Amino acid sequence: MNETRQAMDDALKRVVVPYLRDEGFKGSLPNFRRPLEKQIDLLTFQFNKYGGSFVVEIAKCPPDGITTYWGKHVPPTKVNAHSVNTRQRLGSTPDHDHWFHFAPPSHEFQPVFDEEHFLVVANSVIAFYESQAKRWWNAC
């Protein structure tokens, strides 16, 4: 893992993970679950394989997990947002696919960022969570 990715992981663990715990989520990077009476809320981080950005996808499933279209049961302790067909990327709109950018892709020049830069990106995840995720889970 390169230096900027490690710094981003550290910022997410410092800012976003405690926030998600306060919201009732269990799990660790990259997959989180919040078991509720009628559903499990799912939140998954997916990092760009070329580095420098990630998406946060949310989904939900029944409390007993899901069965894929090919018949495999994914139990509630293993299900994540990528297990579910219907999901939403935080920050995205019908016209725009949102990525959280924290550095240029790994094949480009890597400027040096201070810790504050990564904390700003981590806090933007919380802002999108507040403005989109709660409403989406309740509406779908």
**In whole numbers, what is the pLDDT of the chain averaged over residues?**
91
Of 82 and 105, more confident: 82
Contact criterion met (CB below 8 Å) for 43 and 28? no
Contact criterion met (CB below 8 Å) for 49 and 99? no
Confidence at residue 111, expressed as pLDDT on a 0 to 100 scale:
64
Mean pLDDT confidence for 81-92? 93
Q: How much is the pTM?
A: 0.91
Mean pLDDT confidence for 96-116? 78
CA pair distance 74, 84, nearest whole angstrom = 10
Mean pLDDT confidence for 68-94? 92
- Evaluate if residue 16 carries a pLDDT over 70: yes
CA pair distance 44, 32, nearest whole angstrom = 6
Residue spans of the domains in the chain: they are: 3-139
Only one residue has tokens 């950005």, namely 53
Q: In this predicted model, what pLDDT tens digit does every residue of 25-61 receive, in sequence order? A: 999 999 999 999 999 999 999 999 988 899 999 999 9
